[in-house]
Amino acid sequence: MSSARLPNARIPIIGFAAYSGSGKTTLVTRLIPVLRARGLRLAAVKHAHHGFECDQPGKDSYQIRKAGANQTLVASAGLWALMTETPQGPADPDLNELVRHLDQENLDLILVEGFKWADIPKIEVHRPSVGKALLYPDDPQFVAVASDERFDCPLPLLDINDATEVADFIADFLGLSARQ
């Protein structure tokens, strides 16, 4: 499976899209350990609908960033993070541009949560109890639906509560094999 629709994705990429409250984060957090157990190296890109703060007021890095640094890289022995201030505007960040910043040489798969209308293959996370319409009929990029209920669906219908089934589908769809 090529990621040609997202030119900066040089490795397989798959998204999880749904309305709020459908269980995207729950599914992705259950899926990550299953994929990691297969030896896959993963990146996760998460869309946030509202502003967020990953730094803490009072910390040196927060003060440096708030003083006006456009980018602040915080590093310790076991973790580093790059925070980039972006101009405020009505548009969401561009997924293709965000993916460019990932260290894809050390990754096997990019999981994208949100970015509902991104031009990438996506699994719709759908819970009928949320009361929202299905997304896949309006977007040909949906390749499967993960749900907690069975219903007629022209796409593969996956059990939202079975991370192994979802991982198997992703591996088959993207042609991924376990790493040793």
Domains and CATH numbers, the chain: 1-47+92-180 (3.40.50.300), 54-91 (no CATH)
* Residue 129 CA, distance from chain mean position: 23
Contact 110, 102 (CB under 8 A): yes
Instruction: Look at 144 and 89; give whichever has higher pLDDT.
Output: 144
Query: Which residues have C-beta within 8 Å of that of residue 175, sequence separation ≥ 6?
Result: 1, 12
The string of pLDDT tens digits covering residues 4-30 is: 468 889 999 999 999 998 999 999 999
Does position 89 have pLDDT exceeding 70, yes or no?
no
Contact 39, 178 (CB under 8 A): yes
Contact 143, 12 (CB under 8 A): no
Q: How far apart are CA 46 and CA 179, in angstroms?
A: 25
The string of pLDDT tens digits covering residues 39-53 is: 999 999 988 765 556
User: Tokens 């040089």, residue?
Assistant: 10
Amino acid at 60: D
Query: Which residues have C-beta within 8 Å of that of residue 51, sequence separation ≥ 6?
Result: none
Backbone angles phi, psi at 45, to 5 degrees: -115, 120
| 147 three-class SS | strand
Contact 28, 44 (CB under 8 A): yes
* Per-residue pLDDT at 32: 97
The string of pLDDT tens digits covering residues 130-140 is: 999 999 999 99
Instruction: Look at 106 and 65; give whichever has higher pLDDT.
Output: 106
Mean pLDDT over 115-126 rounds to 94
